[in-house]
Amino acid sequence: MATFIDRRLDGKNKSAVNRQRFIRRFKGQIKKAVAEAMNGRSITDIDNGEKINIPARDLSEPVFGHGPGGHREAIHPGNKEFTAGDRVARPPGGSGAGGGGQASNSGEGEDDFVFELSRDEFLELFFEDLELPHLVRTQLAKTTEFKSVRAGFTSAGNPANIDVVRSMRGALARRMAMAAPYSRRLRKAEEELQRLLDTSPVDEMRVQELFEEVEHLRARVRAVPFIDTFDLRYVNRVKQPQPTTQAVMFCIMDVSGSMDRARKDLAKRFFTLLYLFLKRNYEKIEVVFIRHHTVAKEVDEQEFFYSRETGGTVVSSALQLSADIMRERYPVSSWNLYVAQASDGDNWHHDSPACRDLLMQRIMPYVRYYAYIEITPDRHQSLWEAYEDVKAQHRHFAMRQIDGPADIYPVFRDLFKRRVS
Amino acid sequence: MSSSRLIADSSEWTFSMLERYNEVIGQIASNDFGLDTYPNQIEIITAEQMMDAYSSVGMPLGYKHWSYGKQFVLTEKNYRRGQMGLAYEIVINSDPCIAYLMEENTAMMQALVIAHAAYGHNSFFKGNYLFRTWTSADAIIDYLLFARNYVAECEERHGVEAVEVFLDSCHALMNYGVDRYKHPAPLSLHEEKQRQHDREEYLQSQVNDLWRTIPTKPAETVTETERRYPAEPQENLLYFIEKNAPLLEPWQRELVRIVRKIAQYFYPQRQTQVMNEGWATFWHYTLMNRLYDEGYANDGFMMEFLQSHTSVVHQLSFDHPYYAGINPYALGFGMMSDIQRICQAPANEDRYWFPDIAGQDWLKVLDFAMRNFKDESFIAQFLSPKLMRDLKLFAVLDDDTQDELEITAIHDEAGYRRLRLALADQYNLGSREPNIQVWNVAHRQDRSLTLRHTRYHRRPLHPETTDEVLKHLYRLWGFTVRLEAVDEDGRVSLVGECPANRERL
């Protein structure tokens, strides 16, 4: 009296809801971990999962229980040398023989609770502060798309992909080839038989012989199978990544003394967001990091974000360097150029007109998009005014003064809007 | 003869093979050994699904809650790292009895699991008096479904946050949502639904009555304040809250009730761990051997089985680095087999200790033991000197007034009775969990709720968790909550109070 049910094909993610609940509940802690992970990561490595640590104490579910102390008698197996009345020293930490069953209850409190966030969950939390519109979020979170394209035929595959015409053609050719020797002899035998029957004294013996041979040959021809498994041809499909182009992203940041840790973190998010956007749209992306104070320098990411410099600010030096690199290494014919610039708005004020001219003449005509953020609560200085002139003339120039992570996205709004719609 | 009966000699299982095993095992179980079982529903699941089942404490459909998610994340992590194997089966106390088998198991393991779960546990669920009294196997699936839908409905109406926080508080008191002595009404989905509405209204009116603010005559007030409410201490805290908490909304009372009912459903399982596992292990051992004896299984099958069986019933000794207390499988299997031995081949010692069962029909004695005991009484009744010697049990007394531990009894003539009593006490939920009851409600004053913890062997409460649980209790009650401890001399002291900073009246 039993029913067997095969549940293996049922959904396996019954607990997914509860997992989501869990993440939501500990969002505070998890977000802290995500923010820390952000700092530790390169911006090109942003969309992976992440291991998250939560102090175990934060997620305990308390119940009434006995604490240590009092009078308890515990039974243990495996006595070797004890006899009744023996006295032994209390083992340290209350575990082992003395603590008995209670030891395992109280011992669990200290370890951290570690678990892995999936890539999607990580990005979800990462995007949260940025207040991205939902559509954009899903766009960014999507992985590379593949297009299934036909690539000839194979002799193995699944039945839905059988190419009937090819298969039948193959079968026909095989039938002809396999039956050929018999057909030829058959044709001859039939001709001879006809001739014998036409002549008046019929050679009975020979006719009988020929009859038998004709029968035999016909049977052989019939025995060639109409279609055989190796006639089958299947349409072959391969997955090809969507045709993509390449892009280069210039990150320009002011590293003079006034850019502090918090501002650099904001800038990092700004660059990361642009990177994620590009990654979604281009197969190959290169990132060029240019930092500047009074002189500009191309550096690696580590140095870009984490080295400290002091001194004044000459923005045009960075623009000059970018323009040079563009001309030398990234011809517009084969690269899509994007520039993201972060600064606190300080500039040597005689330099600002030079910046405007550089942008107008050597940069804006070649780049797809130029985003500038000014991380400052103060009022604008000469650089902002110079950039406003640029903005007036170029639609693909975006600038914004920001104060916190929520302000970052609007800088890109036009960029995303164009792609999304 | 044997080769024709052999069911399979491959370690890959197929459905037809499982059906054949089940048929043969079922016949042997009922015809030869008279096991009485619910019909079986055997479900094959994948490892991922097993993890799902794990994290919802084996309930086939639980309501949604973050703590199950946490459990799932933990299980998944440990499994992925290879730190733990998954159980081979999970079995649900329901009618029909649902057993989950993992697809990764070998053919032998599937046969073993069928014997263990679908006939061992199943007959225990059907026969043991605790399960018969406290759970309604035929209604539990319906009730869980009702609970799940009700919780979802509440979430929709009152917000996920509110429901979740409230359930947290209920979970903290889940172990105190059980009637230990009073018989509960059987569950029925239909009646539950019908009564739910009436109950909400009725309860609310009752509560209001308790907190009635109509002025009373001064003369009466004096007597009223002296009388405690409740008149007798109440052990079922959740029940008390459901019926008496002044500020709860009807839906909140219903949630308390759901948590309470589920706690009640699991209560017998917590009381019969040794017996239940021992019984199931004894039967899979007996049934597998019978399969082999009658030629349904070959030598290879048997070797694999014995290898797996011995590792299940292995008891590590106390000084082993991985020792984690007494293995319930080892103790339970040892006791069940020992009862069989005492019936079949009693030694003189056994005749002295167990005059009633020595030499009796072992099937009847085992059946009696399975039906009428729980861990505590089972051990107190049937643990034999021989088994104590085999396991080399000894008792350690840990008294905080002494500097050293004392070995109070070992497996010798002088120690058998003390060992047996102490071991039985170790499985007594009443002494394992702190005894906390509702003592008084100051319903004429500040509506504060006072609980009393009656100390057992001077054991204090765990200081950290106690405060946390009081906070949860405060959330449910809505007014000041106090916890007092009563020591063995009857002295009362305040242990905790929530909110803590208020002056005591």
CB–CB of B138/B66 below 8 Å? no
Beta-carbon separation of A15 and B462 below 8 A: no
The CATH number of the domain where A397 resides is what?
3.40.50.410
Q: Is the pLDDT of residue B303 over 50?
A: yes
Task: Please indicate, yes or no, whether residues A170 and A286 belong to a single structural domain of this protein.
Answer: no
In degrees and rounded to multiples of 5, residue B216 shows phi and psi of: -115, 165
Query: Domain end: A217, A236, A255, which one?
Result: A236
> Is position A145 within any domain?
no
CB–CB of A90/B398 below 8 Å? yes
Beta-carbon separation of B404 and A60 below 8 A: no
> Is position A101 within any domain?
no
Per-residue confidence (pLDDT) for residue B335, from 0 to 100: 96
**What six digits make up the tokens of B139?**
């209604």
> Is position A11 within any domain?
no
Query: Domain end: A236, A254, A273, which one?
Result: A236
Task: Please indicate, yes or no, whether residues A306 and A394 belong to a single structural domain of this protein.
Answer: yes
Per-residue confidence (pLDDT) for residue A111, from 0 to 100: 58
Cα B309 from Cα B439, distance rounded (Å): 49
> Is position A103 within any domain?
no
Task: Please indicate, yes or no, whether residues A122 and A185 belong to a single structural domain of this protein.
Answer: no
> Is position A219 within any domain?
yes
Task: Please indicate, yes or no, whether residues A216 and A336 belong to a single structural domain of this protein.
Answer: no
Cα A2 from Cα B37, distance rounded (Å): 11
Q: Is the pLDDT of residue B379 over 90?
A: yes
Cα A251 from Cα A288, distance rounded (Å): 6
The verdict on B43 touching A (C-beta cutoff 8 Å) is yes
Beta-carbon separation of B326 and A106 below 8 A: no
- Alpha helices by DSSP H, listed for A282-336, are 301-306, 315-329
Name which of B394, B404, B465 is nearest A79 (Cβ-Cβ).
B394
The verdict on B273 touching A (C-beta cutoff 8 Å) is no
Beta-carbon separation of A24 and B472 below 8 A: no
Task: Please indicate, yes or no, whether residues A273 and A231 belong to a single structural domain of this protein.
Answer: no
Task: Please indicate, yes or no, whether residues A231 and A256 belong to a single structural domain of this protein.
Answer: no
> A112-121, B258-267, B331-340 — which is least confidently predicted?
A112-121
Name which of A65, A113, A115 is nearest B465 (Cβ-Cβ).
A65
Per-residue confidence (pLDDT) for residue A303, from 0 to 100: 83
Closest CA–CA distance from residue B57 to any residue of chain A (Å): 12
Name which of B40, B404, B459 is nearest A72 (Cβ-Cβ).
B459
> Is position A9 within any domain?
no
> Is position A340 within any domain?
yes
Task: Please indicate, yes or no, whether residues A300 and A321 belong to a single structural domain of this protein.
Answer: yes
Per-residue confidence (pLDDT) for residue A242, from 0 to 100: 59
Of residues A155 and B56, the one with the higher pLDDT is A155
Enclosing domain of residue A389 = 246-420
Neighbours of A303 (CB within 10 A): 14
Closest CA–CA distance from residue A189 to any residue of chain B (Å): 57
**What six digits make up the tokens of B267?**
């209560």
Task: Please indicate, yes or no, whether residues A328 and A228 belong to a single structural domain of this protein.
Answer: no
Per-residue confidence (pLDDT) for residue B32, from 0 to 100: 93
> A106-110, A386-390, B344-348, B442-446 — which is least confidently predicted?
A106-110
Beta-carbon separation of B318 and A97 below 8 A: yes
Question: Residue A403, Cα to own-chain centre: how many angstroms?
Answer: 30
Cα A185 from Cα A218, distance rounded (Å): 10
Question: Residue A284, Cα to own-chain centre: how many angstroms?
Answer: 13
The verdict on B430 touching A (C-beta cutoff 8 Å) is no
What is the count of structural domains for chain A?
Answer: 3
> Is position A351 within any domain?
yes
Going by C-alpha positions, the residue among B179, B144, B174, B150 that lies closest to residue B252 is B150
Per-residue confidence (pLDDT) for residue A240, from 0 to 100: 72
What region, left, alpha or beta, does residue A339 occupy, with left being phi > 0 and alpha being psi -120 to 50 degrees?
beta
Query: Domain end: A215, A236, A257, which one?
Result: A236
A-facing residues of B in 81-100 (CB < 8 A) are 96, 100
Closest CA–CA distance from residue A90 to any residue of chain B (Å): 6
CB–CB of B451/B474 below 8 Å? no
The verdict on B488 touching A (C-beta cutoff 8 Å) is no
> pTM for the whole thing?
0.70
Q: What residues form DSSP beta bridges with A299?
A: A289
| pLDDT band at residue B50 using 50, 70 and 90 as cut-offs | confident
Cα B451 from Cα B326, distance rounded (Å): 33
**Tokens 């996920």 belong to residue:** B160
Task: Please indicate, yes or no, whether residues A391 and A287 belong to a single structural domain of this protein.
Answer: yes
Q: Chain A residues with CB inside 8 Å of B419's CB?
A: 75
**What six digits make up the tokens of A260?**
């502090």
pLDDT one-digit tens code per residue, B414-432: 999 999 999 999 998 888 8
Going by C-alpha positions, the residue among A91, A87, A90, A94 that lies closest to residue A67 is A94
Per-residue confidence (pLDDT) for residue A284, from 0 to 100: 78
% residues pLDDT > 70 (chain B): 89
Of residues B77 and A242, the one with the higher pLDDT is B77
| pLDDT band at residue B242 using 50, 70 and 90 as cut-offs | very high
- What are the 10-residue block averages of pLDDT along chain A, 421 residues in total? 81 76 81 72 66 70 86 90 88 48 37 72 70 57 67 87 91 91 89 84 83 90 88 86 71 82 82 79 82 86 78 85 89 82 83 88 86 81 85 84 77 61 38
Per-residue confidence (pLDDT) for residue B154, from 0 to 100: 93
Task: Please indicate, yes or no, whether residues A223 and A122 belong to a single structural domain of this protein.
Answer: no
